[in-house]
Amino acid sequence: MSTVEVRDLVKHYDKVRAVDGVSLRSADGEYLVLLGPSGCGKTTLLRTIAGLEQPTSGQVLIGDQVVNDLPPRARKIAMVFQSYALYPHKTVLANIVFPLKAEGMDKRAREERARWAAGLLGIEHLLDRKPRQLSGGERQRVALARALVRQPRVFLLDEPLSNLDAKLRASARDELKRFQQEIGTTTIYVTHDQTEAMGLGDRIAVLESGTLRQIGRPIEVYDDPADTFVATFIGSPPMNLVPRDGRLVGFRPEHLLPLELGAEDRVTLKLDVDRIEYLSGDRHVYGTATGLGEPTRVIARLPATVLTPIEPGRTYDFSIRGEKLRYFDAATGRRTDPP
């Protein structure tokens, strides 16, 4: 187990600034999720930590030791690739023992360890198969077993669930979390899927265009986004942003509720409803909000327990609890204090 830290990390490919000055540090045993849209530099950051890419500048530290000059194998970290990258000509068992073989462990000991890892992931019955004879979910487990068998200091996972279908993804996510809690190894997990990030991460680092926008616990990045990018990237539907006097007033769709449900400290507004969607029992109400700032299209998410009748084409009174409002600078998008 170990900490992972990057300091002012920069990685440029010719003109592309894939990673543009990122500093972050994981705690020992932490599950840190790198979240960001496709192309924001997540994979590049992970590969630089792994040692597969040399940083243009900046430092990578593992266990408080600078590892910039160490080759991947000396960093004692394991990586699960997006494609899993199993050795197609080797059996599952041979795939899993490969890292141990490279370490020079003797045959008996390494098979024992491989069986232990396979047992942990429930793939003992697949050991004699070749990767091509496995389903996507099974391949993912083999890749995990291969990463785990060496008992590395750090796990790096690059979108390991993106090749699975939606249903399998949910159960695999659950398993991944339990599994990490069991073995307690520091893990850096890359994804573009906020549901995965919120569900798995002890903390989430939100990246955009090669820069770190915010790092914090899931509830922090959700409730207290550092800027409008985080506010709108996380949450589904995203945070509503209403321009007012050079600022943006932000609030989550679930906090915009019909007036009669509002508590004490509240601000009111009128919602000109034009469309309603039913999703998993909730009602997503689309409309134009007036009275809070400039008229803006917003979304309200009413849980199934709210029974207020609402129809498209009419205007309703809605309210938001004052403590749920967030303020951003309209020019920079950064969070500002309440006025």
Partner 1 sequence: MTGGARRTLADREGALAWLFMLPSVIYILALVAVPFALAVALAFSDVTVGDPSFDWAGWANFARNFDDPVFWRALGNTFLFTAVSMLLIVVFGKILANILVADFRGKWLIRFLVLLPWTTPVALSAVAWLWLLDSIYSPIDWVLRRIGLIEGNLNWLGEPTLEMVSVIAVHVWRLTPLAAVIVMAGLVAIPREIEEAARMDGAGFWRRMFEVTIPLTLPVIAVAALFGAILTFTDMTVVYVLTRGGATHSSEVLASWAYIRGISGGDVAQGASIALFLFPLLLAAAIAILRAVRRMEVT
- Tell me which H or E stretch contains 336: strand 335-336
Name 249's bridge partners. 242, 327
| Number of other residues whose CB lies within 10 A of the CB of residue 317 | 13
**30 residue type, one letter:** E
In the chain, where does DSSP find H-type helix? 42-50, 92-103, 107-121, 136-148, 166-183, 194-200, 218-223, 228-233
Region from 34-42, 133-141, 276-284, 293-301 binding ligand ADP, contact rule CB under 6 A: 34-42
Cα separations in angstroms, 189 against 54, 121, 163, 236? 20, 18, 15, 21
- Residue 136 or 262: the one with the smaller Cβ distance to partner 1 is 136
Interface with Mg ion by CB under 5 A: which residues? 43
Least Cβ distance, residue 58 to partner 1 (angstroms): 21
Q: Does 83 bind ligand ADP (CB under 6 A)?
A: no
Most distant CA pair in the chain: distance in Å?
Answer: 75
In sequence order, the 6+-apart residues with CB closer than 8 A to the CB of 291 are 268, 269, 270
Least Cβ distance, residue 220 to Mg ion (angstroms): 24
Q: Does 15 bind ligand ADP (CB under 6 A)?
A: no
- Residue 11 or 110: the one with the smaller Cβ distance to ligand ADP is 11
Interface with partner 1 by CB under 8 A: which residues? 50, 52, 71-73, 77-79, 81-83, 85-89, 98-99, 101-103, 130, 146, 150
Binding site partner of 222, from ligand ADP, partner 1, Mg ion, none, Cβ cut-off 5-8 A by kind: none
Q: For 81, how many CA atoms within 13 A lie in the half-sphere containing its CB?
A: 7
Least Cβ distance, residue 124 to partner 1 (angstroms): 21
Q: Does 16 bind ligand ADP (CB under 6 A)?
A: yes
Region from 2-10, 32-40, 130-138, 253-261 binding ligand ADP, contact rule CB under 6 A: 32-40
Least Cβ distance, residue 11 to ligand ADP (angstroms): 8
Q: Does 13 bind ligand ADP (CB under 6 A)?
A: yes
Instruction: Please state whether beta strands 247-251 and 240-244 pair in parallel, antiparallel, or not at all (unpaired).
Output: antiparallel
Binding site partner of 41, from ligand ADP, partner 1, Mg ion, none, Cβ cut-off 5-8 A by kind: ligand ADP
Q: How many residues bind ligand ADP (CB under 6 A)?
A: 11
**69 residue type, one letter:** D
Cα distance between the two ends of the chain: 45
Least Cβ distance, residue 27 to partner 1 (angstroms): 23
Least Cβ distance, residue 105 to partner 1 (angstroms): 11
Binding residues for ligand ADP, per CB under 6 A?
Answer: 13, 16, 18, 36, 38-44
